[in-house]
Amino acid sequence: MIKSKKADISGEKVIFYIASVFVLAIFFLFIAGMIFTTKAARANIPEGLENFIFIQRFTNSPYCFTYQDIDTGRYYTGIIDWDKFTEANLNYCYDTENKIVKGFNLKLINQETKEETPAIKTKNWVGRVDEEREIILRLYKEEEFYDGKLIVQIQNAI
């Protein structure tokens, strides 16, 4: 069989086109993936930061459970008032039923007397525990200060 020279060149060209398109497609995907990953990573909140900030609210905010000196009116961040540790207060200082944001289930333990409060939960809590943290802190109960522990169960956005 006699092959034409013209056909030979066209065949090589087709193979070259196919190879080029293939390489280009890979390159496209690589660049797109790289940009997407970089951008998406930059848009993310660093791991654990959001949980940290919400937990800070529970322990430090005057609008949650923070102990207030009745004589001076001063709030003591980091000290939880046992009597303020109620679901009503929690839902005041963390008011959402939106499950797109994190939900919390909290329990306070007096490490000296081993007494525990009932668990209290935010309104968007559905019972899925994605993470649990223990926060060591001081607590105030009936004019005495104790070593305490705050158990925080975290439900990530659904």
Partner 1 sequence: MKKRGDTYTLYVIAELVIAIFIVISAKDIITAWASNQAFDKVQLAKDIALQANALYTVPGNMYIVNDNHRNFSALFSDGLVNIYKKEKEDTTGQYYYVGLKKKYFEKNLYKPPIIVLTKNGDTIGATDELETLNKLNYPTISTLDEDWKDKYKIFIDPGHGDSADKRDPGIENNNLNLKKESAVTLAIAESLRALNLNIQLTRDFETYVSIDERKNILKEADVIISVHIGEYSNDKNSVKAYIPLESNKNLENKKLATIILNSLTKELDLDTISIIPVDTKNIAAESPEAILQFEDKIVILLEIGNVNSDKGIEMLNKLVPIPNLINQGIIEYFEVK
Cβ 46 to partner 1 shortest distance, Å: 10
Binding flag, residue 4, partner 1 (CB under 8 A): no
- DSSP secondary structure code for residue 94 in this structure: S
Q: Does 114 bind partner 1 (CB under 8 A)?
A: no
CB 124 within 8 A of CB 98: yes
Of positions 44, 47, 118, 126, contacts partner 1 by CB under 8 A? 44
Interface mask toward partner 1 for 58-77; x: CB under 8 A = --xxxx--x-x-xx-x-x-x
Which of 15, 22, 78, 95 forms a contact with partner 1 (CB under 8 A)?
A: 95
Beta-strand pair 131-141/75-81: parallel
Please compute Rg for the chain using Cα positions.
30
Residue 8 Cβ vs partner 1, minimum distance, rounded to whole Å: 9
147 closest CA partner among 156, 138, 155: 138
